[in-house]
Structure 1
Amino acid sequence: MLPKFSVIIPVKPGGEVRALAAISQATYPGDLFEVLVAYGCQPSVQRNTAAREAQGEILYFLDDDSGVAPDFLDRAAGHYQDPNVAAAGGPSLTPATDSPLQRAIGIAFASAAGGGGVRNRYRKSGAARHSSDSELILCNLSFRREIFLAHEGLDERLYPNEENELMDRLQREGHLLVHDPELAVQRSQRRTYRAYVRQMYGYGRGRGEQTLIAGTLKPVTLAPSLLLLYALLVPLLGVPLLNLPLWAYFGVVLLASLQGTLVGKDLALLPRLLLVYPTLHLVYGAGVIRGLIRPRYRGGRKAHWEVEVRRVKPFGEAQMSCSENMQ
């Protein structure tokens, strides 16, 4: 028997829900899925609120610009035939029509030098498999609703990295997570370098905050931060020999940029990759330090975020205004 899905899309007030265009082409029976658009200003709260109102057995979270394949619900349903599977998702791929900067960001994310252990979030590699949060990403991720709600959903103190914290908890309890490369969505990368910098800083800060909440530190988490501190301190020491690792790093960046340019078959990628790689590492590292030293959830007044959830049909979303009340 096929499960019923609730597709949940958080969006800023007044935002366009471009994901609906692709969802409208879904091959899954129309009476077995609903689409909930959660309008608000805090995605973790929006997703949790919509999950409580959902009627489906499976929650499928997408971003407002996630371009799904027509059979995405059919493939996801197949994974939930195993009762031990608590979550399933796939990668987020960069469209070939994106600008050179956007494609450079996508190439870096999907590379060993850039994405590292999480690069499969941004590329199609291998077959469907049991995995971990390192391969799953919230713009294309589903959960069993019963399990999601039993664990109180996403930790609303976190954004981003809220899904990583939840999946860590699920795996510790013995639940299975599935990564399916064929469940890929198409999503454009940040349009400007400034937006990319903010993204990397936010990712790093979220990882630092998640580390504090989880109470466990993965050594790889600190690697970008250590690189940043090293790059800042070495010039001040005046010891030429200590510069060798820094030059080796620049060599790795150059080789990765050349390889990415060849893969992308566009010379315009090269100067952008030479900028994107160090930004990814150093800005992310700065974010991690900030998240560890001054997590957002420990200071200031607690915000009550208003959320409006609407069941919509593709192309039928409504608009609303933003509202945030501080208590």
Structure 2
Amino acid sequence: MLPKFSVIIPIKPGGEVHALAGLADTTYPEHLFEVLIAYGCQPSVQRNAAAREARGDVLYFLDDDSVVAPDFLHRAACHYRDERVAAVGGPSLTPASDSPLQRAIGTAFASAVGGGGVRNRYRKFGAARYSSDNELILCNLSFRREMFLAHEGLDERLYPNEENELMDRLQCEGLQLVHDPELAVERSQRRTYRAYVRQMYGYGRGRGEQTLISGKLKPVSLAPSLFLLYALLTPFAGVPLLALPLWAYLVIVLLASLQGTLAGKDAALFPRLLIVFPTLHLVYGAGVIRGLISPRYRGGRQTHWEVEVRRVKAFEKDVQGSTSDANGVRPD
């Protein structure tokens, strides 16, 4: 028996839901899935609000620009036949039509030098498998609704990394997470270098805050921060030998940039990758330090956010962000 899905998409008021174009072409029975658009300014709060209003057995979270394959719900449904499975997701791929900068960012994320242990979030690799939060990403991720709600959903103090914190809790209880490369969505990377810097800083800060909330330290998460401190302090040490690791790092970035350029078959990637790789490491490292020292949830941030959840038809490709201040569900 096929499960019913509730596809949930958070969006800021006034934004456009481009993901609906792909959902309109899904091959899943129309009566077995619904689409909920959650309007607001704090995605983890929006997702939780929509989850509470959802009618499906499975919550499928997408971003407003996630482009899905027509059979994606069928593929996800197959994995939920195993009752131990709490979450199923796939990678987020960079479209070939993106600009050279965007493709350079996607190339870095999908590489061992850039993405490292989380690179499978951004590339198709291998077959469907039991996995961890290292391979799953919230712009393309589903949960059993009953398990999601039983664990009180996403920690609303976090954004980003709220899904990682929840998946950690699920795995600690012996539940399974599935990564299926064929569940891939396409989603464009940040359009400008400035937006990319903000993204990396936010990712790092979220990781630092998640570390404090969970009380679990993943040593690899501190590597960019330690490297940042090393790079800042080495010039003042007055010991030439201490600079050797820095030179080795620059060679690694050079080789990784060359490899990414050859794989992408576009010379325009090379100069951009030379900037994108160090930015990823250094800015992410700065974000982690900030998250550990000054977590936002201790700074008196607003804890009540206005959210409106609207249930729409998948074929409504021209849906735009609501300007209403009302809470609750808007009917079809």
Q: TM-score range by the shorter chain?
A: over 0.9
| 3-state secondary structure, aligned to 2:44 | helix
SS in 2 for 1:143: strand
Q: Give unpaired runs (5+ residues) of structure 1.
A: none
1:323 and 1:171 map into 2 onto residues whose CA distance is 37
Q: Which residue of 2 aligns with 1:89?
A: 89
Structure 2 residue identity aligned to 1:276: V
Equivalent position of 2:329 in the other structure: none
The one-character-per-residue Cα deviations of 1:111-156 (angstroms, maximum 9, x if unpaired) are 0000000000000000000000000000000000000000000000
Q: 1 CA distance for matches of 2:164 and 2:130?
A: 15
1:283-298 to structure 2, matched below 5 A, reads 283-298=283-298
Match of 2:169 in 1: 169
Equivalent residue for 1:319? 321
Distance (whole Å) between structure 1 residues aligned to residue 242 and residue 279 of structure 2: 22
TM normalised by structure 1 equals 0.98
Q: Secondary structure at the match of 2:304?
A: strand
Q: CA contact under 8 A between 1:109 and 1:122: conserved in structure 2?
A: yes
Question: Contact 1:40–1:323 (CA<8 Å) still a contact in 2?
Answer: no
* Shift, 1:215, TM fit: 0.2
- SS of the equivalent of 1:305 reads coil
Change (3 A) 1:156 1:322: farther
Structure 2: which amino acid aligns with 1:317?
Answer: V
Give the aligned partner of residue 248 of structure 1. 248
Counterpart mapping for 1:208-247 below 5 A: 208-247=208-247
Q: % of aligned pairs identical?
A: 81
| 1:118 has 2:118 as partner | yes
Query: Partner of 1:143 in structure 2?
Result: 143
Q: Is 2:65 the counterpart of 1:65? A: yes
Q: CA deviation at 1:320?
A: 1.9
Deviation, structure 1 residue 322 = 7.3
Cα 1:199–1:318 shift into 2, 3 Å: closer
User: 2 CA distance for matches of 1:210 and 1:322?
Assistant: 32
Match of 2:50 in 1: 50
Alignment correspondent of 1:35: 35
Secondary structure at the counterpart of residue 310 of structure 2: strand
Moved over 4 A (4+): none
Match of 1:207 in 2: 207
Q: Secondary structure, in 3 states, of the residue corresponding to 1:303?
A: coil
The normalised TM-score by structure 2 is: 0.96
Task: State the alpha-carbon separation in 2 of the partners of residues 114 and 298 from structure 1.
Answer: 31
Deviations 1:60-84 (A, max 9, x none): 0000000000000000000000000
Structure 2 partner of 1:275: 275
Give how far 1:317 is off.
2.5
Q: Give me the whole-angstrom Cα distance separating, in 2, the residues matched to 1:267 and 1:103.
A: 12
Is 2:15–2:320's contact at 8 Å kept on the other side of the alignment?
no
User: Which segment drifts farther, 150-159 or 298-307?
Assistant: 298-307
Residues 318 and 192 (structure 1 numbering): CA distance in 2 closer, same or farther, change over 3 Å? closer
SS at match of 1:8: strand
Q: Which amino acid aligns with 2:243?
A: N
Residue deviations 1:250-304, cap 9 Å, x none? Answer: 0000000000000000100000000000000000000000000000001124331
Counterpart of 1:254 in 2: which secondary structure?
helix
Please give the alpha-carbon distance, in whole angstroms, between the structure 2 residues aligned to 1:20 and 1:323: 23
